[in-house]
Amino acid sequence: MTDWGPVFVSVMLFIVLSPGVIFQLPGRSRVVEFINFQTSGVSILVHSILYFAFIAIFLLAIKVHITCLFSTEMADWGPVVIAVVLFVLLSPGLLFQLPGNSRVVEFANFQTSGVSICVHTVIFFGLITIFLIAIGVHISTG
């Protein structure tokens, strides 16, 4: 039985917590800036910590599941670890921005845009689906 809960929660949090989309903490000129499509290394670190906290709450404490049938209890760190690593690596502007502002791909420019968020979200969705649904990565804690 396939559980789409971790994929859905991971993708939604990726969109909501990507620095500069809804907010950036810390901002460039203020503590919090809203919808500025900017980012920085510190912002990605802070947003990654927030992402980790929220995904751990939703997947480990609340145990969000989306299945067609009743599911068994999920208690592994695989979805959390995979989602946080992908969040950091695919945050637009940290390693790359696709599409870039002046080129197709720009590297480490700490910029983002609505189109970049959409493209990076599609890449995130594809990779997290491969890791969690197709491969079924699990990290046991006991």
Looking at residue 13, its amino acid is L
| Token couple for 8 | 């859905």
10 Å CB burial of residue 27 (0-12, 13-18, 19+) is: middle
Predicted structure pTM score: 0.80
Whether residue 38 is predicted with pLDDT greater than 80 in this model: the reply is: yes
Looking at residue 76, its amino acid is D
The pLDDT tens digits for 90-134 are 999 999 999 998 999 999 999 999 999 999 999 999 999 999 888
d(CA 91, CA 86): 8
| Token couple for 124 | 């995130």
First to last CA, the chain: 22
- Identify the pLDDT of residue 78: 84
Strands (E), the chain: 23-24, 33-34, 96-97, 106-107
d(CA 74, CA 62): 10
- Identify the pLDDT of residue 125: 95
- Helix, coil or strand: residue 65: coil
